[in-house]
Amino acid sequence: MKTMIWQAWALGLGFVVMASGATAQVSGGQWQPKVEIPWNRYYRYDELLQHMQSLKQAYPDFVELEDIGKSTQGQPMRVLILTDQRTGNHASKPGMWVDGNVHGNEVQGGEATIYLAWWLLEHAETNPRAKALLESRTFYLLPSVNPDGRNHWFDAANTPHSSRTGVQPTDNDQDGQFDEDPMDDLDGDGEILTMRKKVPLGMGTHRLDRDDPRILVPVEGDQKGDYIVLGQEGIDNDGDGRINEDDLGGYDMNRNWPSDWQPNHIQYGAGDYPLCYPETACIARFLYAHPNVAAVQSFHNSGGMILRGPGEESIRYPREDIQVYDKLGQEGELILPFYRYMIIYKDLYNVHGGFVTWTYESLGIYSFTNELWASPQYWGKDREQTGNWFATRTSQQLEFNDSVLLGDVFVDWHPFQHPTYGDIEIGGFKRQHGRVAPSFMIEEMLHRNALFCARHAEEIAEVTVEAPQVEDLGGGLARILVDLSNSKLMNSRSAMAADHHIGVPDFVSLQGEGIQVLASGLVADRYHPERMQANVLEPGRVALEAGVPGHGRVTVGWLVRGSGDFVVRYTAEKAANREIAGKLGQQ
């Protein structure tokens, strides 16, 4: 019998992150970005597009811009594709999708999305981890899912809460007419405020707060009220006896996604059918065409939340994935003071047809929604001291208005002659207050949220194919074992994807010209590799339906005959492909 000496060596042919020798960013405020973007204000959609263009011009090797569709009003749905193109095409790397502003009034997600690109680019040369992210990941960044609604927030009079919708005319009051009775800026100050009316004592539902008459307090028990609240500024435009009952649009694009989509009578704002809006449809097409997306963040406002699904109690998430979510969510709570990691249906409310529930449940992608800005941040106090967890008491908000903003965000009550109600008063908070951070606090909000995304992206599976281990079984037979290890938190395939056969499994193949593969399979016990569940049907290739677990490894074994060079290839939708060479030889 010939003496056989089996050799194998590893040769990493896949992408390898090189340790950067660049120095860290200079501290002390001496940093000079290539692209200056003032992060102390919010931008109209055309200005956001201009920022994207500026980044592309400054960083042509890192930024591509792709129009994936058009909004209802024909504005481009423009995605900034961010990756170091010198280390590979964007589709060849696992990716993260980040968007914002699906609700027209939740504007700061747009700035946060661009901030993420800007910060990583500006640190690409000085921060090794930013550099590595750009080299090994792709970010698909859509600053506004609802550019028409965004511009409406800037251009039209609005309340502090309007308006979530897109701008397709909708018949909210089922009278056959569309958007015919919107809110009206009666006093022409560019804001939609609240209307109240003083009535004889005892006829009212409210009274003035004794400490601050700007505040209306509901009467209780035997108290007598002398004010009634008449809703937002408006008149009966269509003469049907109702006010403001058919405002602009009237739907919610974050209820229009396919997973657990329910019609309007069950889920307000769902639209006629899943993906019926041009904005949602083009995003879905894009995500189906980019199976490399392994992480999703969708920025909303407000309340200080890091949200994950499910949006409905009956939908179950696998335990392995919840562990991933929990770890990221808990780190998010550290990154984002005042924010809480929460489950949508349990801690917020039921959402049918939400975006991040769809990307996880239907596409198998670990996905979060952050609700940017928490009003307790006005005073930097604990939630319990400032009201409940999503809102600060009105008195404290007025104090902030008075002391920190010199009255900038509250319009004092002033008289108005209303065609239906006669003498009334108009007043209240402006749209710049409540849901969006005040200008001097914007950058911190953007940075912390953007960097939470960076951390999420860092934890996308990174699989290494370790050196093949070869065992001579005698008689010309050998067993080759290869470990695949994942150095990151996220599984290369979420358990949701594995359980429901979403996407394509990861595959590991072994090929060599002089080598006949007789059997292959996953090896559960590396000390008893003979117990592997042998696949003889297509032995050259092993399907990993569950992928490679986060911070874990799987062992794949091959029973082979022959000699010569071979290559082990790992391919995955949501992790970088890898391969390693080996040799099965005779001495």
Partner 1 sequence: MAAAQEPDEPPPPEPPQDLTAPPSGYLNADSLRDELLKLEKSYGRLELSRLRVTLDETPIYLATFRSPQFAATRPEALIIANLEGDRPVATEVAMAIIRDLATSGSPWDKVGTLHVIPVANPDAYARVMAGQLPTRGAPVDEDRDGRLDENGPSDVDGDGKILWLRAPTQAGHWYANPKDPRASEPVEGASPKPGAFQLRREGWDEDGDRRYVEDPPGGIQVDANFPHLWPQYEPKAGPYPLSEPESLILAQFLLSRKKLAWVLVLDDEDNLASPPKGVDKVDQYSRDPLQEDALFLKAWGERLYPKKAKDDSDEPDPRWTKPESGPQGAGNLADWAYFQLGLFTMESAIWTMPAEGGDADATTETKRLAWSDEHYKRGAFTPWKDFEHPEMGKVQIGGWSPLVLNNPPAEWLTDLGVRYMKFVDGLAADFARLEWTEVHVQPLDGEGVLEIRAKLANVGFLPTTSAMEAKTRSKLPIMVELRLPEGSRVLVGNARSQIQRLEGGGGAEDLRWIVQVPKGSAAPVLYAQCNTAGEATYTLE
Task: Determine the size of the site formed for partner 1 (CB under 8 A).
Answer: 32
Encoding tokens for residue 46? 């055309």
Nearer to partner 1, 173 or 483 (CB): 173
Q: Does residue 477 belong to the site contacting partner 1 (CB under 8 A)? A: no
- Smallest gap from residue 68 Cβ to partner 1 (A): 16
Q: Say whether residue 537 binds partner 1 (CB under 8 A).
A: yes
* Residue whose CB is less far from partner 1, 238 or 331: 238
DSSP annotation of 181: B
Give the residue with the Cβ less far from partner 1, 221 or 419.
419
Task: Check residue 310 for interaction with partner 1 (CB under 8 A).
Answer: no
Candidate residues 176, 188, 221, 474; the one interacting with partner 1 per rule CB under 8 A = 176
User: Tokens for 501?
Assistant: 């056969």
- Answer yes or no whether residue 174 interacts with partner 1 by CB under 8 A: yes
> Which H/E stretch holds residue 108?
helix 108-122
Task: For CA atoms 317, 319, 323, 324, give the dihedral sign.
Answer: negative
The Cα 77–Cα 71 span in angstroms is 6
CA distance 396 to 482: 62
Of these, 284, 356, 442, 580, which contacts partner 1 (CB under 8 A)?
284
Decide whether 272 or 326 has the Cβ nearer to partner 1.
272
Only segment of 226-234, 246-254, 402-410, 503-511 that touches partner 1 (CB under 8 A): 503-511
> b/e for 352-383, b at 16 or more Cβ within 10 A?
bbbbbbbbbbbbbbbbbbbbbbbbbbbbeeeb
Nearer to partner 1, 127 or 256 (CB): 256
* CB contact at 8 A, 445 and 373: yes
Q: Does 407 bind partner 1 (CB under 8 A)?
A: no
Residue 259 interacts with partner 1 (CB under 8 A): yes or no: yes
Spatial distance between the Cα atoms of 344 and 374, rounded to a whole number of angstroms: 17
Residue 178 Cβ vs partner 1, minimum distance, rounded to whole Å: 12
Q: Are 17 and 136 in contact (CB under 8 A)?
A: yes
Q: Is 65 exposed, middle or buried (0-12, 13-18, 19+ CB in 10 A)?
A: middle
Are the CB atoms for 463 and 484 separated by under 8 Å?
Answer: yes
Interface segment toward partner 1; rule CB under 8 A; list 101-109, 260-268, 410-418, 550-558: 260-268
Coil, helix or strand for 506? strand
- Which range touches partner 1 (CB under 8 A), out of 8-16, 217-225, 263-271, 443-451? 263-271
Tell which one of 52, 275, 437, 515 touches partner 1 (CB under 8 A): 275
> Does 72 contact partner 1 by CB under 8 A?
no
Residue from 92, 264, 432, 469 touching partner 1 (CB under 8 A): that is: 264
When binding is defined by CB under 8 A, the residue of 86, 265, 319, 528 that contacts partner 1 is 265
* Complex with partner 1: residue 241 or 474, whichever CB lies closer: 241
The answer to the question of residue 356 lying near partner 1 (CB under 8 A) is: no
Find the part of the chain contacting partner 1 (CB under 8 A) among 79-87, 211-219, 253-261, 320-328.
253-261
273 touching partner 1, by CB under 8 A? yes
Binding flag, residue 252, partner 1 (CB under 8 A): no
C-alpha span between 537 and 539 (Å, rounded): 6
In the complex with partner 1, the residue whose CB is nearer, 87 or 259, is 259
Q: Report how far residue 69's alpha carbon sits from residue 89's, in angstroms, rounded to the nearest whole number.
A: 22
The residues, ordered by sequence, that sit 6+ positions from 523 with a Cβ below 8 Å of its Cβ are 481, 529, 531, 532, 555, 556, 557
Question: Token pair 């307000």 is at which residue?
Answer: 268
Residue 262 in contact with partner 1, rule: CB under 8 A: yes
Q: Which H/E stretch holds residue 555?
A: strand 553-562
Closer to partner 1 by Cβ: residue 432 or 571: 571
Smallest separation (angstroms) from partner 1 to the CB of 313: 13
- Nearer to partner 1 by Cβ, of 235 and 504: the residue is 504
DSSP state for residue 18 in the 8-state scheme: P
CB 44 within 8 A of CB 150: yes
Residue 587 sits in the site that holds partner 1 (CB under 8 A): no
Q: Report which residue type is found at 32.
A: Q
Contact between 180 and partner 1 (CB under 8 A)? no
Q: From 3-11, 255-263, 382-390, 478-486, give the range in contact with partner 1 by CB under 8 A.
A: 255-263
Q: Are the beta carbons of 559 and 517 closer than 8 angstroms?
A: yes
Return the number of other C-beta atoms located less than 10 Å from residue 272's C-beta: 10
Q: Are 401 and 411 in contact (CB under 8 A)?
A: no
Q: 112 or 575: whose CB is closer to partner 1? A: 575
Between residue 79 and residue 118, which ones bind partner 1 under the rule CB under 8 A?
Answer: none
From 18, 22, 91, 266, residue interacting with partner 1 (rule: CB under 8 A): 266
C-alpha distances in Å from residue 118, one per residue of 58, 127, 479, 572: 10, 13, 50, 29
Question: Alpha-carbon distance 261 to 258, whole Å?
Answer: 5
Q: Does 245 bind partner 1 (CB under 8 A)?
A: no
Q: Return residues touching partner 1 (CB under 8 A).
A: 171, 174-176, 240-241, 258-259, 261-266, 272-275, 284, 288, 361-362, 500-502, 504-505, 507, 537-538, 543, 545
